[in-house]
Amino acid sequence: MTSLDSVLVFDKDGVRLTVEDAVATVTLTNPEKRNAQSPALWRALVEAGRSLPGSVRVVVLRGEGKSFSAGLDRQAFTPEGFDGEPSFLDLARGSDEDLDAVIAEYQEAFTWWRRSDIVSIAAVQGHAIGAGFQLALACDLRVVAEDVQFAMRETSLGLVPDLTGTHPLVGLVGYARALEICATGRFVHAQEAERIGLANIAVPGDELDATVRDLSAALLAAPRDAVIETKALLQGASDRSYDAQRTAERAAQARRLRDLAGIGD
């Protein structure tokens, strides 16, 4: 639902972007199809990321209706595909370079959510299947309703999760659990999602929006630059050695102290 105080930035191809002060909301707006995804929707998500005002610090991703996103629109697998788009069968017949370029373009819709200058929150209810699961994984944080159903169905269809979901999934739940979830395609419900670290918070469905608002307010309470530096430290921690992380902490703290003292660059 759009607040009376929010500003509509755009609304097209199943994606609506609104901004209210330091919080932007990206809403999937095709509840009749359970917010199924398509290349047009992915391009709109990319545009949403590029359209964020510099004042935005928190981005909330949500889906209208009973489901967050039931995944890729099955029309993608038909011979005709989507109007004006190459079908997946046509893409498969192309060169390795062309196929790689198209998938890379699709992935762009899933990459900007982890930018260091924002914190992104997925508010997830109902189905979050395949591409929907990966879109929730693209965000920094996940708040889920008690009826949530995560599933990675790509393997069951003879495919792999290729929309950037494998890296965050392994980071959140570990390799063995991620492999089991992906290879079986089974559902992960709210209680398990919270227990294994897939969800930050699980709440009754009628409390989802209020919980996300409270979390957004808590994230905005700290100074922006401190959050940006902390997020960058945490994002890079798994790729650094213990000593390299100590060095990164010192450098970040030096920047913060100089800034607070008014002697930054």
Mind telling me the catalytic residues?
Answer: 154
- Residue 66 DSSP label: S
Task: Enumerate residues 6+ apart whose C-beta is below 8 A from 97.
Answer: none
For residue 186, give the nearest of 122, 121, 133, 110 by alpha carbon.
133
Q: What is the rounded CA–CA span in Å between residue 152 and residue 72?
A: 11
Q: What is the rounded CA–CA span in Å between residue 5 and residue 129?
A: 32
56, exposed or middle or buried, with CB in 10 Å at 0-12, 13-18, 19+? Answer: middle
For residue 61, give the nearest of 44, 82, 74 by alpha carbon.
44
Q: Residue 66 is encoded by which pair of tokens? A: 């009973």
Sign of CA dihedral 78, 157, 31, 215: negative
Question: Residue type at 23?
Answer: V
Angle between helices 175-184 and 166-173 (to 10 degrees): 130
